[in-house]
């Protein structure tokens, strides 16, 4: 049985959304971050950083939300959530998948860490919110949201007319931004795209909406 280590609503929802899109049977293992379960030695053996998500299967245990989504999608080519390896379309797929993790997550987390993150959960302990860093996160996210809106001007999904794993990864960033008060309403095209993603039953199962 596949086990997803999660603490909703966090980047674990990316993995959950992929599991739901693919119709994979899995069990959810809650890692209660508020109760400190991420520091239990048994969980640290699964994820040495003590963050979520992590995924345990009969064959492997991995962490990193993007890696989990990519691996699950590759294991289920029949679902057609990714262009074939080596196909020209795969280039843009890689680009947007990495963009989610490398370009969208950092400013979103910088904003969260410096606004909403409870002070008792700051890293390292004793760190305070920094209004300048919050503003930088807001500004950097806005730049990237504008780039996404431009790309989506003439297409329903990042790769064109077909939904793919890139939309799961970037779509989660849209969720997270909205959830923490970085509204995407200034970018109606991006907002409409996120609205399309939210209509998906698998999204609704993963995010409990």
State which residue has the least CB distance to ligand GSH.
51
Nearer to ligand GSH, 33 or 147 (CB): 33
Map tokens 């209509």 to a residue.
Answer: 199
Write the DSSP assignment of the chain as a string of letters: -EEEEE-SSSTHHHHHHHHHHHT--EEEEE--GGGTGGGSHHHHHH-TT--S-EEE-SS-EEE-HHHHHHHHHHH-GGG--SPPTTSHHHHHHHHHHHHIIIIIHHHHHHHHHTTTS-GGG-SSTT----HHHHHHHHHHHHHHHHHHHHHGGG-SBTTBSS--HHHHHHHHHHHHHHHTT---TT-HHHHHHHHHHHTSHHHHHHHT-
Nearer to ligand GSH, 52 or 159 (CB): 52
Beta carbon of residue 80, minimum distance to ligand GSH (angstroms, whole number): 24
Beta carbon of residue 14, minimum distance to ligand GSH (angstroms, whole number): 7
Which residues of this protein are in contact with ligand GSH, per CB under 6 A? 10-11, 33, 51-53, 64-66, 101, 121
Beta carbon of residue 11, minimum distance to ligand GSH (angstroms, whole number): 4
Beta carbon of residue 101, minimum distance to ligand GSH (angstroms, whole number): 6
Nearer to ligand GSH, 86 or 118 (CB): 118
Beta carbon of residue 50, minimum distance to ligand GSH (angstroms, whole number): 7
Give the count of alpha carbons within 13 A of 61, CB side only: 11
Closest Cα to residue 197, out of 74, 17, 25? 17
Nearer to ligand GSH, 51 or 202 (CB): 51
Map tokens 């809106």 to a residue.
Answer: 149
Nearer to ligand GSH, 51 or 81 (CB): 51
Nearer to ligand GSH, 11 or 144 (CB): 11
Beta carbon of residue 188, minimum distance to ligand GSH (angstroms, whole number): 27
């Amino acid at each position: 049985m596949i086990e997803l280590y999660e603490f909703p609503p966090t980047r674990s929802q990316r993995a959950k959304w992929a599991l739901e899109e693919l119709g994979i049977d899995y069990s959810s293992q809650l890692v209660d971050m508020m109760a400190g379960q991420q520091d239990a030695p048994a969980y640290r053996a699964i994820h040495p950083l003590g963050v979520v998500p992590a995924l345990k299967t009969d064959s492997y245990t991995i962490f990193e939300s993007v890696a989990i989504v990519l691996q699950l999608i590759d294991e289920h080519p029949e679902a057609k959530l990714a262009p074939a390896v080596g196909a020209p379309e795969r280039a843009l797929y890689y680009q947007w998948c990495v963009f989610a993790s490398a370009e969208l997550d950092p400013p979103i987390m910088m904003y969260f860490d410096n606004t909403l993150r409870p002070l008792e959960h700051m890293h390292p302990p004793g760190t305070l919110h920094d209004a300048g860093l919050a503003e930088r996160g807001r500004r950097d996210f806005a730049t990237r949201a504008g780039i996404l809106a431009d790309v989506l001007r003439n297409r329903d999904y990042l790769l064109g007319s077909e939904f793919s794993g890139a939309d799961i990864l970037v779509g989660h960033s849209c969720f997270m931004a909205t959830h923490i008060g970085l509204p995407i309403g200034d970018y109606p095209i991006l907002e409409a795209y996120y609205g399309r993603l939210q209509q998906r039953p698998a999204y609704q199962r993963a995010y409990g909406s």
